Amino acid sequence: MINGIVNVLKPTGMSSHDVVGQLRRIYHMKKVGHAGTLDPLAAGVLPVYLGQATRLIEYGDSNIKQYRAEFTLGLATDTEDSTGEVVAAAPLPELSVEDIKTALEMFHGEIEQRPSRYSAININGVKAYKLARQHADFTLPGRQVTIYDIRLLSYDAGCGVFDVTCSQGTYVRSLIRDLGEALGTYGCMTYLVRIKAGLFDIDEAATLEEIEAEPMRYVLSVDTAIQELRKVTLPAAGCASLLQGRPVPFAGKGLPPDVVLRIYNPEDKLAGIARFDKEHHVIRPHKMFADVL
């Protein structure tokens, strides 16, 4: 079995699930998953995990994301992007570039965002977008997200482009919806490119055609997505104890409680993920690999 991560340049028109299906075919394996869903309208970085690497998706999807988004003001759609049906329209106010910049700055920092009804959020085990397509009556609660940086690149006659760096769980089309409201009109996303997802960059992403031509060339090591976690190297006996579910004594000087660690054996191979129990000064296993990667 192949264990690793592929930084895929997802094309517009394909769902993230479609991309996973393509990689299952290319690598002749079923155990494939992706981090950070991209809508069919969106393109850009989509980290896809192969084999045992799929167990690390939750860590690889918790990092900061960077997007470039195109938007149109004066229109609202049911999906909050240009793939949906227009549900409202309004005359475009006279707005300058400075007006747009000022409005965007309002979203800088920690904000509460109401996700799109056409999101992939689970509601009682069902994706919100499926319920929305069935015209079900439901409300998604607001969530705290962080906008680390947001910059207008261009704006003219109701159409603009901005770059945004944000936390996991941020919906850019909902951000554009709220931007429209802040400007006294409506807002609709017309295109989206994910430039970065944690340590994965669009400049290093490979197209499906490139991957199919040279599959193994683009398989990155399993721990590529978790480099931000604290690294701890343990003796072989310590790694074996964690694999067997037993805690391992560890001083952990200077480490905060419950910090997540990436554990390596003496040969510098990834043995798994563990947590530091500061109260008892031990490392407790969380996700260990029977076959050291």
Q: Which residue do the tokens 């980290």 mark?
A: 47
Which one of 18, 39, 78, 163 is the catalytic residue?
A: 39
Secondary structure of the chain in HEC code, one letter for each residue: CCCEEEEEEECCCCCHHHHHHHHHHHHCCCCEEECCCCCCCCEEEEEEEEHHHHHHHHHHCCCCEEEEEEEEECEEECCCECCCCEEEECCCCCCCHHHHHHHHHCCCEEEEECCCCCCCCEECCEEHHHHHHCCCCCCCCCEEEEEEEEEEEEEECCEEEEEEEECCCCCHHHHHHHHHHHCCCCEEEEEEEEEEECCEEHHHCECHHHHHHCHHHHCECHHHHHCCCEEEECCHHHHHHHHCCCCEECCCCCCCCCCEEEEECCCCCEEEEEEEECCCCEEEEEEECCCCC
Q: How far apart are CA 253 and CA 208, in angstroms?
A: 45
Cβ(229)–Cβ(273) below 8 Å: yes
User: One-letter amino acid identity for 146?
Assistant: T
According to DSSP, the residues that pair with 147 across neighbouring strands are 109, 166
Rg (CA), the chain: 22
Residue 39 falls in the annotated catalytic set? yes
Length of the chain: 293
Active-site residues, by number, are: 39
